Chains A and B, each alone.
Chain A
Amino acid sequence: AQKVTQAQTEISVVEKEDVTLDCVYETRDTTYYLFWYKQPPSGELVFLIRRNSFDEQNEISGRYSWNFQKSTSSFNFTITASQVVDSAVYFCALSEAMGSSNTGKLIFGQGTTLQVKP
């Protein structure tokens, strides 16, 4: 069965600190997709990144970076120089694939609440 585990329930940091959010997944599929979403206090879910199982290259987008390691089934998310506006719940998700397609069925982790204090 597919599963996503975000072991960190809550993290609190002071502004400008770096913070890493952990995500470990389980799947028997050889083709799958991984996602990170942000849920700010306003409640909407905001897409951050998508990765397919064949692309282990790490990605950096501004202060955000992602480390994908198939060997450890992990897809960790790092925020560099955190800001108060980064305070949100962050969800890691796994999508099953049918062939090379993404079915869109996302299995979410329980989320990590990040609080960035000024």
Chain B
Amino acid sequence: DAGVIQSPRHEVTEMGQEVTLRCKPISGHNSLFWYRQTMMRGLELLIYFNNNVPIDDSGMPEDRFSAKMPNASFSTLKIQPSEPRDSAVYFCASSLSGTGGRELFFGEGSRLTVL
């Protein structure tokens, strides 16, 4: 079975440009998470969805960031306009929520560099 698929794997862009990161969760999983990893802040949760509905976006840094999940098999994280401090690795993860606890399965990450 395919794991979580993220694209692009690497993105280099200039300050002010719009960036769109994409994620395809594991088929059948109903929870999707966007995490960001930086040296300074480590791994931090940006937003998560249950059954395509955003549940908690308290980790989204500011209005420049937005995330959507139009259907169960696709999500986007958009940054507009991008800034150098947005440079990080962005991970998408999915899980099957419910009782008993579920581990998150992570994609390989999208490394973003904003010049």
Contacts and interface: CB of A to CB of B under 8 A. Distances in A.
Interface residues of A, number: 27
A35 B108 contact: no
A102 B105 contact: no
Contact of A101 (B99, B104, B107, B111): B99
A104 B42 contact: no
A99 B100 CA distance: 10
Interface in B71-115: 89, 91, 93, 95, 97-109, 111
A117 B106 CA distance: 28
Contacts of B102: 102, 104
Main secondary structure of the interface of B (DSSP, over half): strand
Nearest to A95: B101
B97 A45 contact: no
B91 A45 contact: yes
Contacts of B99: 99-101
A28 interface: no
A100 B89 contact: no
B42 A44 contact: no
Interface in A88-114: 91, 95, 97, 99-111
A44 B108 contact: yes
Nearest to B94: A104
Interface residues on B, range: 20 to 34
B14 interface: no
A90 to B, nearest CB: 12
A100 B103 contact: no
A47 B101 CA distance: 13
Contact of A102 (B35, B43, B100, B107): B100
B56 A47 contact: no
Contacts of A99: 99
Interface in A68-100: 91, 95, 97, 99-100
B76 to A, nearest CB: 19
A50 interface: yes
Given A46-B106, A95-B101, A97-B101, 10 more contacts: A44-B106, A44-B107, A47-B103, A47-B106, A50-B101, A52-B100, A104-B33, A105-B48, A107-B45, A111-B42
